[in-house]
Structure 1
Amino acid sequence: MSPTKLSTVVLDAHDARELAGFYLRLLGYVVRAEEPHWVLIGPPPGSAGTSLAFETEPAYVPPVWPDRNPGDQQMMLHLDIEVDDLAAEAERAVAEGARLAEYQPQNDVRVLLDPSGHPFCLWTRASR
């Protein structure tokens, strides 16, 4: 039996290209493949990192984080992104199109929402 390997995390969105563009700018990734309603991005050649794909889903409903009411669309996953300067990178993420989540459960981690509403966390090595 050959070993299996997780290759990509796929996020749904109303507009796959728009969300891919946000993460391209945020992470410094490059486009690896694209189709009309799907985009695969990853680290530049020779760099390590996890690939992300984005798929257009016309019926996409953004998650509510933290979930407050029964029936809210729950967060299914979130991305943890390691940074060197938490404040500067949070500010840059907001400038690129993210928004700071109202609820911040930790002082040394910043929870943000990408343009499609997916939560992601910025953190520094000192905070883990």
Structure 2
Amino acid sequence: MTTRRTSTRPVAAQGPATEEGRGGEETTEAATTGEGTPLNPHPRFSLATVVVDCPDAPALADFYQRLLGWEVKFHESDWVLLRPPEGGTGLSFQSEAAYRPPVWPERAEEQQKMLHLDIRVDDLDEAGAYAVALGATLAEVQPQDDVRVFFDPAGHLFCLFLH
């Protein structure tokens, strides 16, 4: 995996910005024993975004922006960050020249999926038709009646399900 970063991109491995700059150490207020000893001291973690590798970050981000109705918060030629309008964990797309789409259902010796997105919808048929109109492909194998499995334009799996 090639990871390229500039100072303006989110860097999940660094801590939050501090007066000293990026990467400052921060701890949470830990619960303590009656003697003041921390029960489980640890650094603070907060999931900022899930990064999806793909051959063309702007193109795949455009697909998910239209599918989810999310906002572009950051855009470079090889990196795009989307966030829901109400806030929360984002979805980022990173261009990777050596990207290979996964095979599903999984087969030995083939590229395996690393994760998939589960997306809640109000109407499976309507949402599925919309996803296909945007460029998704309905998977041949559909293991459940109340879930629809699709491939996005870069070949990643995502599932639509009723809430």
TM-score, structure 2 length as denominator? 0.72
Q: Give aligned pairs, total.
A: 122
Residue in 1 aligned with 2:95? Answer: 56
List structure 1 segments (4+ residues) > 3 angstroms apart after TM superposition.
none
Q: CA deviation digits over 1:33-87, x for unaligned, max 9?
A: 112210001112xx1443100000000000001112x210001000000000111
Structure with more of its chain in strand, by fraction: 1
**Residue 113 of structure 1 is aligned with which of 128, 151, 155?**
151
Q: Does 1:84 align with 2:127?
A: no
Q: Does 1:66 align with 2:105?
A: yes
Describe how 1:2-81 pairs up with structure 2 within 5 A: 2=28, 3-44=44-85, 47-68=86-107, 70-81=108-119
Structure with more of its chain in helix, by fraction: 1
Q: Secondary structure at the match of 1:31?
A: strand
Give % identity: 57
Return the structure number with greater relative CO, CA threshold 8 A, min gap 6.
1
Q: Residue 71 of structure 2 contacts residue 84 of structure 2 at CA under 8 Å; is this kept in 1?
A: yes
TM-score, structure 1 length as denominator? 0.91
Distance, in Å, in 1 between the alignment partners of 2:69 and 2:49 is: 17
Unaligned runs of 5+ in 2: 1-26, 29-43
